Chain A
Amino acid sequence: MFFMDMDIFRIAIIGICGVIISSVVKGYKAEFAIYVIMATVMVIFIMILYKLSYVFEFLGDIYNQISYGRNFFPIILKVLAVAYIADFTAQICKDAGEAAIAGKVELAGKVMIFYLAMPVMVAVLELINRMLPG
């Protein structure tokens, strides 16, 4: 894990190379351009995942010290995961020109986030109910 702080340079160069290679391949066989784009996106995402694991450990330590936070931190993680994956898939669909599939994937992500967040809303409503007199 050497040279971890300035990995943004690596990620930027990988992104630019991906764009150039994709445009080159698109001239020969348009189907392969999507594969190149998918590979580039996944490579960059995996690089970011390494950093994210540290952030989540840190956040987990903080949230474990709050009595309310202990139940809800996994929900936050799940919502984040759904948001990232839905965005990643929808962008790839749009790049391939399939805007309809991208729209449905995004809609599915929104619905799942709402479904995951329902217990949090219920808890907030109960809290408000308890705080109001009578």
Chain B
Amino acid sequence: MDFNVDIIFKIAAIGIIVAIVDVMLKRAGRDELAMMATLAGIIVVLIVIVQMINNFFVSVKTLFQL
């Protein structure tokens, strides 16, 4: 049950790290790299969230016996 709570913190940590990397890359003048890094971070978190949603809907289905 506490595994689920860690996910929230991990997603927030990934978000803040991506933001920091983005700012640093923009300061170094590499704007395209910054955009790609941001996009990569968003896609990674998206994949994690989609897996969570999948688990969640499967458990709802088994609970309600749909």
Residues of A within 8 A of B (CB): 14, 17-18, 21, 24-25, 28-29, 31-33, 35-36, 38-40, 42-43, 45-47, 49, 52-53, 56, 74, 77-78, 80-81, 84-85
Contact = CB atoms under 8 A, between A and B. Distances in A.
Given A46-B59, A56-B63, A31 B42 contact: yes
Interface residues of B, number: 30
Contacts of B7: 39, 43
A17 B15 CA distance: 16
Given A77-B64, A77-B65, A32 B11 contact: yes
Contacts of A45: 56
A25 to B, nearest CB: 5
22 contacts: A18-B8, A21-B8, A21-B12, A24-B12, A25-B16, A28-B15, A28-B16, A29-B18, A32-B14, A32-B42, A36-B12, A38-B53, A42-B56, A43-B7, A45-B56, A46-B4, A47-B1, A52-B63, A56-B64, A74-B65, A78-B66, A81-B60
